[in-house]
Amino acid sequence: MALIDFGGTKEHVVTRKEFSLARAKKVLKKETIAVIGYGVQGPAQALNLKDNGFNVIIGQSKAFKKDWDRAKKDGWVPGKTLFDVEEAAQRGTIIKLLVSDAAQRVIWPAIKKNLNPGDALYFSHGFSIVYKDQTKVIPPEDVDVIMVAPKGSGTSVRRNFLSGSGINSSYAVFQDSTGRAEERCLALGIGVGSGYLFPTTFEQEVFSDLTGERGVLMGALAGLMEAQYDVLRKNGHSPSEAFNETVEELTQSLIRLVDENGMDWMYANCSQTAQRGALDWKPKFKKATLPVFKELYQSVKSGKETRRVLNVSKKKNYRDLLSKELETIGNSEMWQAGKAVRNLRPKNKAVQITKSTRGVSGRASN
C-alpha cells in the first residue's frame, strides 16, 4: 500500500502499480465471477472484468426484459454466459450482488441457498449488511464477504475504463472465512478498473455514500440549482441565461477546473469579481446548510433513510411513481432549457458510450 498525505492526514491506498492487473488475474484465475443484476453497476463492472480477461457470467431475471435484452446485446450468451439469478449463483464462486438495495432483500433467500463454503459474496454498497435488521441479509459464516464501491455511476465506471483513467473505489472486508478475502477484494477492485482503492468499512461506506448522494452529489446540488434558477427567472432573466449561469457554466467549465487542481485553483483562474463574491458568500452558504447536513447524517446513521427507501421501493406501483417524479423534473422549464442548451453544444468527438453498454445513471447504491 502507498501512504498518501490527504491534507495533513496520511492514509494508505492501493494503486494499480502496487496491485497489478497481472497479479489480480493470477489471484482470480480459478474463480467464476457471477454478476447478479444487469441494471446500474452490473453492466459496467461485468464488461470491464470481461475486457480485462476474467471469467464472468451474468445472473439476470428474464422478468426484467429490458435488462435481459441489454445483456444479450452486450454479447452475453444465454446458457453460456447469461443465466437466471439462481443458476448464475450456483455456477459462481464469487457472487457479485449488484441489483438494487431493495431487490437484494427480495432475492437474498435464492442467493443464500446457492452459496458454497469458500465462496465470496461481493457488494458495491454496505446497505444490506449494515442494515441487516431491515434487509435480513445475513451471510453464512463460511463465505468471504467483501466490498468494492466505485465512486461513480455505472456510466462513469465504464466510460472511465474505456478512456484508461478508471474510477476510484473504496474497499472493505466484512468477513474473512478463507484467509483470502482481502486479496480477492483487491483483485476485483483492480479488475473493474479502479483508479486507486482506499480502505473503509461497510458501515463507513454506507454512511458516507447515503449522505453524499442526498447531499452535494445529487440532492443538495439539484435543490441549489432549482433555487438559483427560480430567482433568476423571477427577476426577468431568460431561460437560456438562467440555465447557463446556473448549470452550464458549472458543468462545462468551473467544475472541470476544480477537477484539475482544486477549488483554490478554480478561484485563482476566475475574474477578481467572481473570486471576491464567491469567497464572501461561501461562509453564508455553509452556515445555512450545515444544520441540514447534520440532520441528514443522523437520519442516515439511525436507519431512517434506509427504512424509507425499502418501504417505498416495495410498493407495486413504485416504478410508475418514480417515472412521474423524474418526468416532472425533466419536463420543468429549467431542464427543458437544459435540453435546448445541450443540443446547441458543438459535437463532442470524445469516446461515446452506446445505450447498450450504458448503465442507468446512478451510484453504487442504486
The pTM of this model reads: 0.86
Q: Which amino acid is at 250?
A: L
pLDDT of residue 349: 52
The string of pLDDT tens digits covering residues 42-93 is 999 999 999 999 999 999 999 999 999 999 999 999 999 999 999 999 999 9
Instruction: Return the SS3 of 155.
Output: helix
What phi-psi label fits residue 303: left (phi over 0), alpha (psi between -120 and 50 degrees) or beta?
A: left
Whether residue 364 is predicted with pLDDT greater than 70 in this model: the reply is no
The string of pLDDT tens digits covering residues 95-125 is 999 999 889 999 999 999 999 999 999 999 9
- Rg (alpha carbons) of the chain, rounded to whole number: 22
DSSP labels for 89-131? Answer: HHH-SEEEE-S-HHHHHHHHHHHHTT--TT-EEEESSSHHHHT
pLDDT of residue 348: 58
| Catalytic annotation, pick one of 70, 96, 125, 363 | 125
Q: Is 12 a catalytic residue?
A: no
| Beta-strand runs (E) in the chain | 2-6, 9-15, 33-36, 56-59, 82-83, 94-97, 120-123, 144-150, 167-175, 194-199
Query: Where in the chain are all domains bearing CATH 3.40.50.720?
Result: 2-200
Asked if CATH classification 3.40.50.620 holds for the domain at 2-200, the reply, yes or no, is no
**DSSP β-ladder status, 120-123 and 33-36:** unpaired
